[in-house]
Structures are given as C-alpha cells and as structure tokens.
Structure 1
Amino acid sequence: MQGTLEQFFRALRAADVRVSPAEAIDATRAVAVTGFADRTLFKDALCATLAKSADEVDRFEATFEAFFARDPVAAEPPPAPLSEREAEQVAESPLAQAVLQGDAAAVQQAMEEAAREAGVTEIRLTTQRSRMTRRLLEEMGLDQIEAIIARARRLPDGEGQGLADRLEAARGRLFEQAQAYVQRQHDLYAATSARELREERLVRKQLNADGGVDPVDYALMQQLVRKMARRLATKYARRRRAAQRGHLDIRKTLRRSTAHGGVPFEIAWKVKKVDRPSIVVICDVSKSVAAFAQFLLTFLYSLNEVVERLDAFAFSGRLIPVGDILDDHAVDQAIFKVLQEIGFQSTDYGQALADFAENHLDSLDRKTTVIILGDGRSNHAEPRLDLMKQIHDRSRAVIWLNPEPESYWGQGDSVMNRYARFCHVAKQCGTLEQLERVIEDVLRSYVPH
C-alpha cells in the first residue's frame, strides 16, 4: 500500500495540492492508525493531513475520487462452462480464462499490475495515450489471447469459431477498459507536465511589441509573475531573518553569565541592521513596452513582504505617480487607467525625467534602487542626460531594463547607449525569466552574504 500512497501523493502534487515530505510521513502514519477498510475514514485521515485550505480540500476530493476509482469490467460470464477442448486452448493464458469466466476482479488486478510494469503513471503527453494503452495490454497478456484466437480460427470444421468469437469480443472490451484506465492516469499525472511545459514556454516569451501577449496566455503569465514574486519573497525574507540574527557576541554573553554562576542563560548576539529594499520604478507605458510594464509592476507589488517602499511612476509624454492607482485597482486595470490619463502621447524621455526631477528627486537616497523600464526611444527629443546623472548620483543603484536587444541601442531615435553611461546596470530584459533574475539581483544586494 505504501507504493499506492506515494503514487497518490504524486497525483495530489499534479493537482496543485502541495505535499511536503513531512506531510507525506504524517499521512502515512495517520493511515496506519485508521487502516484502509473504511473508505470514508481513510479519505478523511488523508485529507486532514494533506489539504491546507478550502481550495486544496476541493482538489484533494476530486483527485481522491479519480485515483481510487475502479472502472467496471464489462466481461460477462459465458452462457455455458468451457468445454474440455476450450479449457485446454486457454490454459496458457490466465487473462483469457478471467475474461471468459467473467472474473472482473482478476481482470482489474491484472490491469493494475500491468500498469505498474508498463509505467503508465509516467505518462506526460496526450500523444502518449495510444502507445501506453498498447503497452498496458501487452503487459496484461493480450498477445497470448491473439495467439489463441488465431489457433482457434484454424481448427477444422469451425470447431474453434465460438471460442474465437467470444475472445474477440472480450478483446474489444479490454481495449475500451485499457483506454479508459490510461486516460484516467493522464488526467491524474499529465496535467502538471503540460502546464509546466506551457509555463516554461511563457517565461521565455518575448514581451516586446512584436511578441505581444496572447489573451489566452495573459492570465497564466500573471499567475507566473506572482508565483515568482512569492518564491523570491520567501527566499529573501528567510535570508534577511538569518542576517538579522547575527553572530554570537561572546564577550557580552560571558558578562551576562556572571549573574548565573558562569552559566550562559542569556545569549547575546551581534545584530546587524539589514535594510529592506526601497525601490523607485519608472515605466514607459507606450505601446512598445506597455505589456512588459504590467508584468514588472505586478512583480514588484507582489513583493510587499520584503520591499520597504515602492514608488511607481509611469510616462509616455509626461510622467505621473501611479502608486494610488495601483493600490486601488488590479495592475491590468490600473494600466488602462494610466493610459487614459497619459497614453497615446509622443514618448519623451527628457520630459519624463524633468517631471520626476522637479517633483520627486528628493525622495532618492543612498538606500534607494531606481528601476527604469523603457526602450530609450525618445522621438529625437532632448534626452536630458544631466537629470539622468543626478538620479545616478543620488541613488544606491540605477537599473535600466530595455526589452530591445543591445544591438538596437543607439539606432534611429534610440539614445539608450547614452543613458547606459549613468546606469549601474543596463541590460536587455524582454522575458519573465530575465525579469526574475534582475529583481533577484536587486533583493540580493540588500542582504549581507
């Protein structure tokens, strides 16, 4: 039964029910107490130890019913017992005997044992179903049934026709049952693989104007961004706590121990103050980079656990603060609100920098990281490099993310190569994968190693 439970844990993980090794051990211990005879008690014991939320309870119940379901075997007993000659012909095949005698339990057991040998639970793609079905039937002993049918057809005077007809009918029913079994395994185990393949494609998808986001993929990409943010938030919150804990202060600990006869009841630590990231993000929301701006803002606003301050600004022709808009609306809705106010204007990076310097330059200090998202194409307007230098000098770091390849920088109306001189980091960033690496670098810079 341990192997069955491990397969069930795999099926739960495929259904987005997180099962840690510790939880799997707890579930195994609970089942050892309750036993397997009472299905309801067995199910409740697993649910209590594995499902942590209402959504996970729903997914657990659906997975449990699918995993422990048993398809009915459509094998009917023969109208009369097998003759002595027929019994001799099928003696070499336990599967043929089971289907002719209508032994549904034996057929089901044979199918599950054959599934383990055939590796049916390793199915990952829809295209594998036919091959897995055939492999399952071969492991069950279908070749023996087909050989018996062929021999029975060759018997003189049609002596074996009745046996051959019944076995052919049973073979058809076995095909149907095997197909249903493989489909169920696909539904249990392959959903995660298909989603992971799709996610892997999306995190590498270019988000510039020419590679815009398909509406079908947009919701999944938003989920991916939030998942990346949660992963980084968890990782760097843990690192920050470890850094804050510091090292043992031996001198102070020994001084405190004198009050207790030299026993170090009160431990003293050398605590180092660790700053939480303070981030200012300036986003170009013109058509060429609006989609990427949405994902960048979604990412940063999902890091609220580890970011002390986040000031967001957007521009196309002029620059405005968008923090209040983002606080009151979802990011995708907020972008439309921003576009209604400043969209459809001629992109002017110089004017945007002037607006920022006039109203918000004093908010920058040596603890602030400035992230600028844009392609650096300013329609031949004055780039205001002097203001870019001021932002550089007042900030902890200036990071410029440009969705365009570096070979395009400086071509046409692009002044990206001139802005890059006043950036601590300036790099192409056109995919979610690249975005995650950049944000992780920012968070890492605030935590001592």
Structure 2
Amino acid sequence: MQHTLEQFFRALRAADVRISPAEAIDASRAVLVTGYGDRELFKDALCVTLAKTADEVDRFEGVFETFFSRDLVTLPPGGKDSEQGEPSEQDMAQAEGSPLAQAVLQGDATAIQQVMEAAAARANVADIRLTTQRSRLTRRLLEEMGLEEIERIIANARRMPDGQGEGLANRLDEARRSLFEQAQTYVGRQHDLYAAGSARELREERLLRKQLNADGGVDPVDYVLMQAMVKKMAKRLAAKYSRRRRTARRGHLDVRKTLRRSMGYGGVPFEILWKVKKVDKPSIVAICDVSKSVAASAQFLLTFLYSLNEVVERMEAFAFSGRMISVNDILDDHGVDTAILKVLQQIGFQQTDYGRSLQDFAEQHLDKIDRRTTVIFLGDGRSNFADPRLDIMRQIHDRARAVIWLNPEPESYWSQGDSVMHRYARFCHVAKQCGNLEQLERIIEDVLRSYVPH
C-alpha cells in the first residue's frame, strides 16, 4: 500500500498540491493509525496532513476521487450473464494458458482489475506525459495484460471443425472490444492524474520564453497564466532571499565582545554576544515606459517587484509616455493587475518623450535616489528624435547604487531609427535585453543577489 500512497502523492503534486517529504511521512503515519477500511476516515486523514489551503483542498478532493475510483471499470461479457451462457469445460480448457481469458470467461471483474493494474505497472502507464501517448500506452497495456493470448485463442477457436469453437471465439471477441474500451478509460484516468502537471509545465516553459511585446500582444488566456507565473517566481525569490537574511542574523560567537562584557561579572559570561552580518534590503525605484510597445512588459515588471515586498525595503514606481507620474497610489488602490489601465487613462496615447519624462522626474523625485537605491528603467529608448536629456541620466547614475535598464528590443536595434538606447547605456551599470519572463526573473535575481551580507 505504501507504493499506492507514493503514487497518490505524485498525482497530488501534478495537480499543484505542494507536498514536502515531511508531509508525506506524516500522511503515511496518519494512515497507519486510521487504516484503510473506512474510506471517508482514510480520505480525511490524508486531507488534513497534505492540503494547506482551500484551493488545495478542492484539488485534493478531485485527485482523491479520480485516483481511488474503481466504479469506472465495467465487467466484460462472460459467465452466466453472457448471451452465450456459462462457459463449458472445453472453453475453459482452451483458455488454460491465459489467466486473463479465464477471468473473462468466469466474469471475474476483480481478477481483471488486478491483472490490469499489474500490467499498468509493467507498462509504466503512470509515466504518461502527453495526450499523444494515450493510444500507444493503451496498446502496450493490453499487450501486458495478455491480449495476444486472447487473440491466439480466438484464432484457434475459429479454426475448429463444424463451428465448435464459434461460441468461445464470439465470447472472447466481444470481451476483447470491452477490454479495449476499459484500457482506454484506465489510461485516460492516468493521463488526468499525472499528465496535467506536465502539460502545465510545458506550457509555462513556452510562456517563459514568449516575447512580451510581439506583434499581436499576449493572448488573454496566456496573460492570466503569465501573471500567476510572475507572482510564483517572485514568491520563490522572496523565500530564497528571506532565508539568506535569517541566516545572516544568526551570526557567530563574538569572543572578544563576550569576554569584554563578562568583565563586569567577574569573568563569568552571563551575556553572549554574536557577530551578526547585516543584509540590506533592496531599495528600488522603477521607471517604466507604458507606451503601447512596452506596456505588457511594464505590467509584468511591476507585478514582479510588488510581489517582492518581503525582501524589498522601499519600492517607488513611476510611469511615463509623454509625461511622467508616480503610480504608487494607483498601484495601492487598484492593484497591479488593473493599475496599467488606470495609468494609461492618465498618460496613455501620448507621443513618447524620454527627455521630457526624465525632466519631470528630476524636478519632482530626484531626491528619492541615494547610494542605497537601485534604479530600474524599462523602455525601448525610442524618444521620437526629442532631446534625450543625457545630463539627467548622468545625475541618476551618480546618485544611485546601480542603474539597470531593461529593453525589450534586441541590442542590434539600440542605435537604429529614433532609438537613443546606445547613448543611455553609457550611464547604466547594466543594460540588457529583457523581452520575456525568463530574462526578467534572471535580472531581478541579480539585483537581489547584489545586496550581499556584509
């Protein structure tokens, strides 16, 4: 039964129910106490040890019913319920070399189920990953069950003189069709249990590399999933760098300070002092171009940064197309998902002017930048041939800890047409192409990594 539990844990993980090794051990211990006889008690014991949220409880319910369901298995024709009546001794003798054929003739559904599950283990049906594998695995499952032996018995029965084996052949032929449908159903259930996670992973891998500002934009269905992916990536980075700060706070014994403090107690170290490493939280100023060509990237960047509230000390966000405004209040009031639409209502549909926007920032917000601040620009650097105000970029560079520019366009475009990106790049500590979520995650992690313990 332990193998069955492990397969059930696999199915839950494929359904995006997070199960740690410790939780799997707790669930196994709970089942040892409750036993397997009472289905509801068994289910509740697993649920309370494995599902942590309401969403996970819902997913657990669906996976449990699918995984432990046996009512989908139909009894193939045979035995006294068959149109041909009960099998004769001669029929049973013909099927002597095939346990599956004997179970079919006797109408033993339990034996057929056991044969199917044992064959599924040998055929590695649980390793299904793609819908296109269903037909091949169905045939492989039937072969492992002994379908070829049944086909041999059918062929031999049809060759018997005077139609003596016609009844046996018809009975087994009807059972073969039923077994095929049953095997298809079984493989389909395995696909639902184990392949859903793989399909989601493949889709997420594709979306990680999808160009955010490609022609046609992002499909609305993909957009929702990509927003969830960004939040998940941010949560992963937040957990990673929160652990680093906790480790830094533990410190090591400071022998010198401990001995000095103990002088007041006659040399007895009543107070233990530790060497504590200090880890600065990033202070980030994000300046985003929200013109039509860059709006999608801006929304994903802001979603990412605002989801890092555990590891970011201060987050200031600004948006511009023709003029620049602070969007902190808009983000706080409406959330990142709808904030870009609100911003576009205020400053959208204007001719992009980087120089004018930088001047707005310098006049109103330059004092928000100090030596602890990382400034992240997001934009394509196309200023419609207006003055790029490189002097302000130099001021920002000189005041900030680091200036990072994320450009959705390839570097080969940075000096073409009205792009002045090659001129802005001189005042950036990092200037990189950032056209998809994978590149965005890598760059944000580099920012967090730069705030090392000291």
TM-score (norm: length of structure 2): 0.96
8 Å CA contact 1:282, 1:314 repeated in 2? yes
2:362 equivalent in structure 1? 357
Matched, 1:73 2:74: yes
Alignment map for 1:230-241 (pairs within 5 Å):
230-241=235-246
User: Once the 2 structures are TM-superposed, how far is the Cα of residue 263 of structure 1 from its aligned partner?
Assistant: 7.0
1:210 aligned counterpart, secondary structure: coil
1:269 equivalent in structure 2? 274
2:23 equivalent in structure 1? 23
Partner letter of residue 241 of structure 1? R
**Alpha-carbon distance in 2 for matches of 1:299, 1:125:** 31
Alignment map for 1:68-217 (pairs within 5 Å):
68-70=68-70, 71-79=72-80, 80-210=85-215, 212-217=217-222
**Alpha-carbon distance in 1 for matches of 2:295, 2:121:** 50
Q: Which of 242, 246, 256 does residue 247 from structure 2 map onto? A: 242
Q: Percent identity?
A: 77
Matched, 1:397 2:398: no
The C-alpha deviation readout for 1:383-442, integer Å capped at 9, x for no partner, is 100000000000000000000000011111010000000000001110100000111011
The C-alpha deviation readout for 1:215-263, integer Å capped at 9, x for no partner, is 1200000000000000000001111122233332012234456788877
Matched, 1:431 2:436: yes
Range with bigger deviation, 210-219 or 129-138: 210-219
Partner letter of residue 268 of structure 1? L
Matched, 1:302 2:289: no
User: Once the 2 structures are TM-superposed, how far is the Cα of residue 165 of structure 1 from its aligned partner?
Assistant: 0.2
Matched, 1:314 2:319: yes
1:393 aligned counterpart, secondary structure: helix
Number of matched pairs:
449
The C-alpha deviation readout for 1:277-300, integer Å capped at 9, x for no partner, is 110000001111111001000100
**Alpha-carbon distance in 2 for matches of 1:65, 1:447:** 48
Q: Which of 375, 383, 396 does residue 380 from structure 2 map onto? A: 375
The C-alpha deviation readout for 1:186-208, integer Å capped at 9, x for no partner, is 00000000000000000111112
User: Once the 2 structures are TM-superposed, how far is the Cα of residue 75 of structure 1 from its aligned partner?
Assistant: 2.4
Gap regions ≥5 residues in structure 1: none
The C-alpha deviation readout for 1:69-107, integer Å capped at 9, x for no partner, is 012332244344432322221000010010111100000
Matched, 1:385 2:390: yes
2:292 equivalent in structure 1? 287
8 Å CA contact 2:92, 2:105 repeated in 1? no
Against the structure 1 CA distance between its residues 264 and 61, is the aligned structure 2 distance closer, same or farther, given a 3 Å change threshold? farther
**Alpha-carbon distance in 2 for matches of 1:273, 1:100:** 76
Against the structure 1 CA distance between its residues 263 and 77, is the aligned structure 2 distance closer, same or farther, given a 3 Å change threshold? farther
8 Å CA contact 1:286, 1:316 repeated in 2? yes
Range with bigger deviation, 230-239 or 54-63: 54-63
User: Once the 2 structures are TM-superposed, how far is the Cα of residue 34 of structure 1 from its aligned partner?
Assistant: 1.5
1:208 aligned counterpart, secondary structure: coil
Range with bigger deviation, 52-61 or 414-423: 52-61
Gap regions ≥5 residues in structure 2: none
Cα root mean square deviation, aligned:
1.5
